Amino acid sequence: MSEAPKISLCMIVKNEEECLHRCLESVKDLVDEMMIVDTGSTDKTVEICKSFGAVVHSYEWQDNFAEARNFGLEKATGDWILWMDADEEMNKEDSKKLKELLRDQEDSLFYIHLINYIGDEINEDDAFHIAHSRLFRNGIGFRFHFPIHETLNVEEALPHLTKDLHIQILPVRIYHYGYMNEFTGRKNKFERNIQLLMKELDKEDHSPWIEYHLASEFSRIQEHEKTFKFVNLSIIGFLEEHRMPPSLLYKLKYSTLISIGSAEGAWPGIEKAIEIYPDYVDLHLYKGIIQYLKKDYKRALMTFDHCLELGESNIRHLTLKGSGSFHAWYYKGLCYEGMGQVDEAVAAYQTSLAMAGNYALAKEALEKLGPMSEVSHTQNNK
């Protein structure tokens, strides 16, 4: 058997003292070196990095995340690069088996399971899941591009790779805390990101990903009209380049239409999106919600049943936890209520709560039904 591969952790940081220790602690026994690029910290960030044995390179910030990351890549000496952010943490048990998973691998790029927490507190049921390219072989031409929301140049480094379906997802979880309300508010990310994205938007040859990222930024502050405008421009941009718009663009488009109460505007367009991505459970959930809003309860119930059949394990799409489980059951409950079938509604809400015990919407729905839910609950426990 060959020697275990050497792994380099590559990160860029600035004033990350509050979360950095958790991040580095989670991978200290996995990686062989930590190459950290500091872009001007004024707190204890550098000190914390060095306490873990990291090599810290000072770098003058150029308003370009890709260039800063690439500066770090040039310093790494490992066989493999693991890239992370300071507001992330690798599952400790998963990290123990990662080196063995990489041993004797012929592939040069791997996805890991990224869990993006949202909301006010860490809640396993309040998160988006996606497979993300975080591990790649060093020295074969991988670089980052785009000054913001930087992305690996997979098509350039691996020109023979035709689809991301060919990229293996390793059973390794990384938890990302940066989208939680506490972090987004404190770090003033929105203003910085919008400024950098608008600068990219002015370039004639900019990628349609720029419009998508603008849409995402506006979505986080619930400016739905701007979100809808930019996500549509992104879809058009991909189509003009004769490329299939990625699935998460359609997710953002239809979730935005639902947020502004435009069921009519979302129908029947979502059917076309589902034709393109029939295995994307979130799109089916939105279809069901649209049918529910249109009071087409019977068809909506069939759609939510299909969500339950699909489940939510396909993380090649950006997937909301619960789309194929407790959210679908909650909306089944709403449909039953709309049809006047209270017992079925109560049972659906209780099933939803059994899957996600702190699901506030299902709790509120049961409380609203009052005595009927208590009677049904008593009967179910006899």
pLDDT band at 210 (very low <50, low <70, confident <90, very high): very high
User: Mean of the per-residue pLDDT values for the chain?
Assistant: 93
Instruction: For 7-48, give the DSSP string.
Output: EEEEEEESS-TTTHHHHHHHHTTT-SEEEEEES---SSHHHH
CB-based contact 27:92 (threshold 8 Å): no
What number is the average pLDDT over the span 171-175? Answer: 97
pTM above 0.85, yes or no: yes
**CATH number, span 186-369:** 1.25.40.10
At 359 the three-state DSSP class reads: coil
- Residue 190: what pLDDT? 81
Per-residue pLDDT tens for 75-107? 999 999 999 999 999 999 999 999 999 998 999
Instruction: State the Cα–Cα distance between residues 231 and 226, nearest whole angstrom.
Output: 8
Residue 126 · residue 108 · CB < 8 Å: no
* Every domain of the chain and the residues it spans: 7-176, 186-369
- State the Cα–Cα distance between residues 43 and 18, nearest whole angstrom: 10
Percentage of the chain lying above the pLDDT 70 cut: 94
Residue 284 has pLDDT above 80, yes or no: yes
The CATH architecture to which 7-176 belongs is Alpha-Beta Complex (3.90)
Q: What is the mean pLDDT of residues 216-228?
A: 94
